[in-house]
Amino acid sequence: MREIGLKNIISKVYSGSIAEEVGIQVGDELLKINSHEIEDIIEYKYYLADEYLEVEILKTDGEHWIVEVDKEYDEDLGIEFENPIIDQAKSCRNKCVFCFIDQLPPNMRQSLYFKDDDSRLSFLQGNYITLTNMSEEDINKIIKYRISPINISVHTTNGELRKKMLNNRFAGNILNILTRLAENNIEMNCQIVLCPDLNDREELDNTIKDLGNLSYSIGSVAVVPVGLTAYREGLHKMDPFNKETASYTIDQVQKWQKKFKSSIGRNFVHVSDEFYVLADRDFPNYESYEGFPQLENGVGLSTKFKYEFYQYLRRLPIALKRPKHITVATGTAAYKLIKTMCDDLTEKIGNLKVEVICVENKFFGGHVSVSGLITGQDIYNTLKDKYLGDKILIPESMMKAEEEIFLDDYTVTLLEEKLGVPIQVCEVEGKKFIQRALNLRMK
């Protein structure tokens, strides 16, 4: 019989896959590949790359199988595991002065309070890690198994300042670790959460300079403003960015972009869209974002959305057969842009009215303005007494990944019932936004 609590349990076998062909089933446990025990998803993917495999499986009835597999180099077995990374995710032991999780309101779902700092999640899901919660063995594993690219929260390359910002006495050797990873050809993207009077201005210059010296291995650097909620009691006192300080940061980074463009042929470092909103300045052009490598950090998302929107709108001569009234709910940061775009949409399309409503984030309070942190109850309280037309459009960035659930556990279905109007969750993509709004066939 099998032991209880095993971690490599198979939860899905894809139809037509190698696994299905050789008789692997849901509930079976993966033990070894080519005599190597599989401790986590990185080892699984690494050993899976061989063209000949001996896969050891423990069946649900306790029987051991060794399955021989001949396959293409990049061909998968076609299985998923109950735990996506197989091993337990590593939690963060830092106490960062800017940590957003420490600023969450009470009584939210428990999973939101978990701080991950796991290189495997960085590789698989794009999560940012500080590298402070890793052993020498973990660093060696990144290099050995070519875990690349990984996303790293740097914040500053000043060792003493980084110890202070992360409240971790082991956080100061970041530059040495980055250099070691770079010398072993590990691709990286870096993030700097910028905090006024801590790691900005001269400290930011020094950090960008240090990271620029590793540009042969670092793909991009994002500078994002610290997010401050109303729940900061007992935390490090910190002022938010304002129009003046945001504008200074934009100018500072643009000077570095010119230097990097001249020396390495690319901009390398970018500030997030929030800085341009705070400074009330136009977003950079589409080409300046060089493929948008930092969209998850809000770098260039507005420019990309706008570009896609107008590219599609220009070739869309259409008038609706029946009048349509749509409500679009968005956060304060995106309101101005979305309002302008929707005004242009209604001017181009006959029989269409689009009302854009700004939803203030009262759930988190403070200075939280991005649409991705809007909650269901804030949408409800903002829209409940308004005429909402035929349907409401909301961006999928407000949703929990792959689920129609807001951060406050409101579901889209519940919100529809309370408001009495259908809700359309829309991809953050300009063309699809128009298609969802007009009920056009998706292409």
Q: What does the pLDDT look like over 211-225, one tens digit per residue?
A: 999 999 999 999 999
Secondary structure in 3-state letters for the chain? CCCCCCCCEEEEECCCCHHHHHCCCCCCEEEEECCEECCCHHHHHHHHCCCEEEEEEECCCCCEEEEEEECCCCCCCCEEECCCCCCCCCECCCCCCCCCHHHCCCCCCHHHHCCECCHHHHHHHCCEECCCCCCHHHHHHHHHCCCCCEEEECCCCCHHHHHHHHCCCCHHHHHHHHHHHHHCCCCEEEEEEECCCCCCCHHHHHHHHHHHCCCCCEEEEEEEECCCCCCCCCCCCCCCCCHHHHHHHHHHHHHHHHHHHHHCCCCCEEECHHHHHHHCCCCCCHHHHCCCCCHHHCCCHHHHHHHHHHHHHCCCCCEEEEEEEEEEEEEHHHHHHHHHHHHHHHHHCEEEEEEEEEECCCCCCCCCCCHHHCCHHHHHHHHCCCCCCCEEEEEHHHCCCCCCECCCCCEHHHHHHHHCCCEEEECCCHHHHHHHHHCCCCC
> pTM higher than 0.85 for the full model?
no
User: Is a pLDDT exceeding 90 seen at residue 306?
Assistant: yes
CB atoms within 10 A of CB 379: 23
CA dist., res. 196 & res. 316, Å (int): 45
Strand partners, 321: none
Question: For the residues 68-75, what does the mean pLDDT come to?
Answer: 85
Report the first-to-last Cα separation within the chain, whole angstroms: 51
What is the pLDDT confidence band of residue 142, given thresholds at 50, 70 and 90? confident
User: Is a pLDDT exceeding 80 seen at residue 121?
Assistant: no
User: Is a pLDDT exceeding 80 seen at residue 417?
Assistant: yes
Identify the residue with better confidence: 45 or 273.
273
Computed over every residue of the chain, the mean pLDDT equals: 87
CA dist., res. 332 & res. 359, Å (int): 6
pLDDT in the model for residue 114: 44
User: Is a pLDDT exceeding 80 seen at residue 329?
Assistant: yes
pLDDT in the model for residue 110: 58
pLDDT in the model for residue 123: 40
pLDDT in the model for residue 427: 93
Q: Using an 8 Å Cβ cutoff, are 342 and 354 in contact? A: yes
pLDDT in the model for residue 418: 97
pLDDT in the model for residue 191: 95
The two three-digit tokens of residue 317, written as one number = 């001569």
User: Is a pLDDT exceeding 50 seen at residue 301?
Assistant: yes
Identify the residue with better confidence: 244 or 150.
244
Q: What is the pLDDT of residues 332-385, one digit of tens each?
A: 999 999 999 999 999 999 899 999 999 999 998 888 889 988 999 999 999 999
Q: What is the pLDDT of residues 12-51, one digit of tens each?
A: 899 999 989 999 999 998 888 888 888 777 677 777 878 8
User: Is a pLDDT exceeding 80 seen at residue 90?
Assistant: no
pLDDT in the model for residue 252: 98
Beta strand pairing call for 319-331 and 64-70: unpaired
User: Is a pLDDT exceeding 50 seen at residue 2?
Assistant: no
Domains of the chain, with CATH numbers?
A: 10-81 (2.30.42.10), 101-298 (3.80.30.10), 306-438 (3.40.50)
What percent of the chain has pLDDT above 70?
91
User: Is a pLDDT exceeding 50 seen at residue 192?
Assistant: yes
- Which residue's structure tokens are 């349990």? 9
User: Is a pLDDT exceeding 80 seen at residue 240?
Assistant: yes
ω before 196 within 30° of 0 (cis)? Answer: no
Distances (CA, A) of 315 to 140, 223, 339: 53, 35, 21
Q: Which candidate, 396, 397, 401, 394, places its Cα nearest to that of 380?
A: 394
What percent of the chain has pLDDT above 90?
58
Identify the residue with better confidence: 259 or 115.
259
384 CA to centre of own chain: 30
What is the pLDDT confidence band of residue 111, given thresholds at 50, 70 and 90? low
